Amino acid sequence: MAINLEDPKKLKPLREQIHQVAMNMLRPISRKYDKAEHEYPTELDMLAAMADGLAESGQGEGAGATGVRRDSKPDDGTVKNGANMSSVISVSEMCWGDVGLTLAMPRQGLGNSAIASVANDEQHERFDGVWASMAITEPGTGSDSANIKTTATLDGDHYVLNGEKIFVTSGDRSDAVVVWATLDKELGKAAIKSFVVEKGTPGMKVERLEHKLGIKASDTATITFTDCRVPAENLLGSPEINVKEGFAGAMATFDNTRPLVASMAVGCARAALDYTRDLLQQAGVEIDYDRPAHLQSAAAAKFIQLESDYEGAYLLMLQAAWMADNRQPNSKEASMAKAKAGRMGSDVTLSCVELAGTIGYSEGELLEKWARDSKILDIFEGTQQIQQLIVARRVLGLTSAELK
């Protein structure tokens, strides 16, 4: 089955439309909400409404994050460019405008992708339109999601949750939080399940919002759960503990969200490259793609190297999304895209700051902001080091116990 890594024709109008939104609606308010940390960007409500309107008319996916359910099969065996491909293209263009504002979009939470990936039919319908953030990380667990300490104990027709979650994106603004908790610590990874906990549930408390290096337009919360009773039907997917399946059910979410994070890094890097190219041209630096880099100025040679690094990340992102749309296992490719794009994003934006000199370091332009925003994209949804470890396991055919 061949993979075409050009933009599908049907998605080109979508890219162009969202690019206009990013340029005319996000860029103008980017600095405003970078300085007004934790203030909700009310302009995003109109964007979400527009996205929902397009979805209802059959012209878009709507404001909700997408995912591929593990038991889904193509209808006719044909190659598809579907929700995952349109999502990475859309998100990359939005992040060309602003990463923090993209993360703050209503109903675009990572929890929405978890619901789309893992929920059964009844849950899909019940949680349709809910803005869901995702709570995984805990104090002391970091990248080791399998070492989750938050517990979920069945009590009648409810699960009782106890624990603390940190770095929950949109944790204060969202309607609900998808919480990862263990049903039985003794059974390890297989007992970890996802629960939809709606805001206002007794025992759930947003303790604080974090002050951050970048993505300041997005709120990042610490949330505690103290004897928090959640309806049993809010457990996403099957409540059965399948030791053979292990962590696969929960980790299916990451196979969909990691290409999305890669697309965020791609969009932010593209913004920096576009602006830096204009600056270099204004300074009289000629960038000639038909000449060897060593025969050009140092600035032009550096810029060409940055663009090639960007291109590699962009193609890996498209490949991971394409595989998800065509129901192909993409765990390795999703981690490859996330690892490459996360590192590329930081390298490119910081290098563009250097190439731009005083303009790059000044708050008069957005280059310094893009450099700050891009760093988190190499950290959340699995750090650079964790992604390399996952890729190594897939390539070598080793389990997590065999390669730590």
Summarised one tens digit per residue, pLDDT across range 312-370 is: 999 999 999 999 888 899 999 999 999 999 999 999 999 999 999 999 999 999 999 99
β-pair partners for 319: none
Confidence at residue 243, expressed as pLDDT on a 0 to 100 scale: 64
pTM to 2 decimal places: 0.93
Domains delineated in the chain: 9-113 (1.10.540), 130-236 (2.40.110.10), 248-396 (1.20.140.10)
Tell me if residue 253 falls in helix, strand or coil: helix
Cα–Cα distance, 345 to 377 (Å, whole number):
8
103-107, 141-145, 201-205: the lowest-pLDDT one = 141-145
What's the burial of 128, exposed, middle or buried (CB within 10 Å: 0-12/13-18/19+)?
exposed
Q: Please state, in angstroms and rounded to a whole number, the distance separating the CA atoms of residues 87 and 267.
A: 12
Q: Read off the tokens for 221.
A: 């919360």
Residues above pLDDT 70, as percent of the chain? 90
Spatial separation of the C-alpha atoms in residues 23 and 28, rounded to whole Å: 8
pLDDT digits (tens, 9 = 90+) for 266-315: 999 999 999 999 999 999 999 999 999 999 999 999 999 999 999 999 99
Reference 318, options 51, 76, 88; nearest CA is: 88
200: left (phi over 0), alpha (psi -120 to 50) or beta: left
Residues in the chain: 404
Question: Which pLDDT tens digit goes with each residue over 149-168?
Answer: 999 999 999 999 999 999 99
